[in-house]
Amino acid sequence: MSRNPNGAVSRLKTITALLASACLVTMATGFAPGKDADDFNSKTPIKHIVVIFQENVSFDHYFGSYPHAANPGGTEPNFKAADDTPSVNGLNTGLLNNNPNSVAPFRLDRAQNYTCDQDHDYTDEQTAFNHGLMDLFPESVGNPSGINCLPGGATVMGYYDGNTVTGLWNYAQHFALNDNSFNTTFGPSTPGVLNLVSGNTFPVIAHAGTLDDGPNGHVITAGPGTTVIGDPDPLYDDCSTKTGARVGMGGINVGNLLNEKGITWGWFQGGFTPTSAAGVTPAACGLKTATIGNGLQTAYSPHHNPFQYYLSTSNPHHLPPSAVAMIGQTDQANHQYDLADFWAAVNHGNMPAVSFLKAWRAQDGHANNSSPLDEQLFLVDVINRLQQTKEWKETAVIINWDDSDGWYDHVIGPILNQSATIADSLSGPNSCGTSAKSLNGIQGRCGYGPRLPLLVISPYAKRNFVDNTVTDQSSILRFIEDNFSLGRIGSGSFDALAGSIRNMFDFDDGPRADKTFLKCATGEVTSKPETCNTY
C-alpha cells in the first residue's frame, strides 16, 4: 500500500492527539463520552452492525457459476465447494450456450482482474433489460472501447468464478449469501448509496453547477419534484468537484433516526481525512493509494458518501473527531470519518453500534480503478480483524454493492415501483410501467433494478446458506431500523416495502464459536489471520 508519507505522519499525529484528548476528557469529567454499544437495546443479539458497501458488481458477475469453479491450476487458487453446498439461480447450461444476448457469458480468469468500466446509467440499464428479455446488454451498457475492453461491448458479459473471487466464495461457504437481492432502483453509485441510508433518491432541494436533467443525466424532474438518477457530487462536501453538478437532498436518513435514539454510528471512508493543512478550508482530499497492479488511485470519492448530501449529517470541511472516545457520537465530525477512525474506535473499545465502511477507491472493486483482487484485500482485512475483537460475538457484517456497473445478470426483479418519465425505458419509450403506480407519486425511481450479491457474515449467520428472499439495498436499512427500533424513514422510502434479511440469521442456537480467517492474496482459508492493510 502506497500512501502520501506526509499524510501518514499527519495521520499518526492526529490519532495520537485524539487518544490524548480522550484521556483528558475522562479525567476532567469523570465520564468517558464513548458509550459501549452493548448498552443499546436491540431486537436481536446483534449489537454491532457493520455494512461494507462496495462498488459495481452484478450477482452473475461474481456468483454466476457458484459453487463450481474452473480450477485451471497454475497461479489461480483452487476452489472446491462443500458437498452440501446449495445451488444458486446462476448461469446454467442454457444461459451459457443459448443466451439471448449477441455475446454469450464467458469466464474471466485471474489475470483479467482489471477490466474497463461498463455503462450503468439509469436509462441505459433499463434499455438493456428490454421489457424483461434481458438481451441488449452489449448494445446498451457494454463499453465498446477503452483499455481492457473487448469490441462491441462484449466485456459486459464477462464473469468471475471462485478462482478469482475466492474470498467471497469462501465467505459464502461459511456464512449466508442471498441470490435474490437487487438494486433498489436502476442507476449508478449515488442512487445506490442514497437508497442504502434513506431508501429515497428524492427530493433534490438545492444544487450548484449545471445539472444534466433528463435521460442518463444527473437528475430527472417530473411529478412532484426532482429525483437523483445519476452521479452528481454532494453539495455539502469541500472535496466535491468544484465545477461539476452538486446536489443537496431533503428529507431524512438513517443517521437522523439513530441520532434521535442516541445510538452511536458512523460513516467511515478511505481518504476522508484531508491532505490540506488543519483548519484550511475548503478542505482538499488528495490522498492516493496503490492498487495491486494498476497504479495510484485517488482515495476519496465524494459521490460515494451518502451522508454528505444531507446538511444535517454532513461534515463539509472533513473535520476530525474531537476525541477517539467521541467517535460514533455527535461532535464536529458529525459522524463522518476516515477508515482509520473506525479502527481507532475499535481499539479504544467504543466501536459504534452501526458502522458503514467504504474502501478507498483502489480497493472498492470498481472496474477501471480497482479489481476483484484489490477488493479482496479490503474485505479480508476488515473481516479478519473484526473476528479478533471482543465485539465479534455480537456483530453482523453485511456486504453489499452500490450498483451493478451494467455487468450482465440474467434475472429481472419485481418492479415494485413504477415511473413514467423521459428517462425511463424498461417497458417502452418514456415508461417503466405507469406513473400512477409509484410511491408517493415520486418519479424517476424505477425499481427494483439489477440483481446484486448480498452476504451476511456473523457468528449468527446461517452456515453455507443461500437465501432466496426478495431483498434490496433498503433491506439493510430496514434491518438497522428494526434491530434498534428506529421506526421508518417515511416520505415514500423503499424501507416500507423492503424484504427482510432475517432469514440469513440463526438466532436460536447462540453465536457460533468457529471463525473463518482468509489469506489476503488468495482468499483461501487459513488458521492464522493475516492483516492486509495498514491505516
> Domain residue spans in the chain?
5-404+412-526
The whole-number pLDDT of residue 36 equals: 59
Cα(247)–Cα(249) distance, integer angstroms: 7
Enter the DSSP assignment of 431: B
The whole-number pLDDT of residue 39 equals: 76
| Helices and strands (H, E) in the chain, number of each type | 11, 20
For the chain, residues with pLDDT lower than 70 are 1-38
Strand partners, 52: 357, 399
Task: Return the C-alpha cell found at 147.
Answer: 483499455
pTM of the predicted structure, to 2 decimals? 0.93
Q: Where are the beta strands (DSSP E) in 270-425?
A: 288-290, 296-298, 336-338, 354-358, 395-401
Q: How far is CA 497 from CA 124, 468, 477, in A?
A: 25, 17, 11
Tens digit of each residue's pLDDT (9 = 90 or more) over 269-322: 999 999 999 889 999 999 999 999 989 999 999 999 999 999 999 999 999 999
The whole-number pLDDT of residue 21 equals: 43
Cα(23)–Cα(224) distance, integer angstroms: 51
Report the candidate in 225, 353, 383, 377 with the shortest Cα–Cα distance to residue 293.
377
Cα(499)–Cα(478) distance, integer angstroms: 8
The whole-number pLDDT of residue 16 equals: 44
Contact yes or no for 305/253 (Cβ under 8 A): no
- 509 by Cβ neighbours in 10 Å (0-12 / 13-18 / 19+) ranks as exposed
Contact yes or no for 406/124 (Cβ under 8 A): yes
| DSSP run (H or E) holding 142 | none
Residue located via cell numbers 468544484: 242
Q: How far is CA 162 from the centre of its chain?
A: 21
The whole-number pLDDT of residue 502 equals: 98
Strand partners, 454: 178, 400
Cα(106)–Cα(160) distance, integer angstroms: 9
User: Does 1.10.10.60 match the CATH number of domain 5-404+412-526?
Assistant: no
